[in-house]
Copies of this chain bind each other. A is one copy, B any other.
Amino acid sequence: MYSTKQKSIIMEILKENKERLLSPDEILDILKLKDESCSKATLYRFLDNLALTKEVRKCYNQDTNRFEYQLAMGDCSRHLHLKCKKCGLVIHLDCHDTEEFLHHISEEHGFLIDNYESTIYGLCPKCR
């Protein structure tokens, strides 16, 4: 994996926005603001690579009908998050809480839980 200008700028942007989910178009807009550029193809390819290696989480946003990406912190295959409908802030839920809850549910329904990756919508403390 060669390191290139495009890749490092995309990573930079992801890091600067690690508390939010970014769509490819948002990333391109930020690139433009920085007077940098990168083709859509390269962006999509790199984001998909990062998702494959679990360096970013790739989530589908049902409201905008697009994928959004966010720098992964820790294990991201078992994951619940709260997303603020207003400001886009994403709060990652503590694994303890969710694991306990899911364990309970798993027992009750005889379900072997593999992975989860879910978003619960609402308003964050600031926006409510």
Residues of A with Cβ closer than 8 Å to B? 59-60, 62, 80, 82, 84-85, 91, 93, 97, 101-102, 104-106, 108-125, 128
Contact = CB atoms under 8 A, between A and B. Distances in A.
Contacts of A93: 105
Nearest to A127: B112
A62 B110 CA distance: 24
A68 to B, nearest CB: 12
A110 B82 CA distance: 11
24 contacts: A59-B62, A60-B62, A82-B109, A85-B114, A91-B111, A97-B101, A97-B104, A97-B105, A97-B108, A110-B124, A110-B128, A111-B124, A112-B123, A112-B128, A113-B120, A113-B122, A114-B121, A115-B120, A115-B121, A116-B118, A116-B119, A116-B120, A118-B118, A118-B120
A75 to B, nearest CB: 15
Contacts of A85: 114
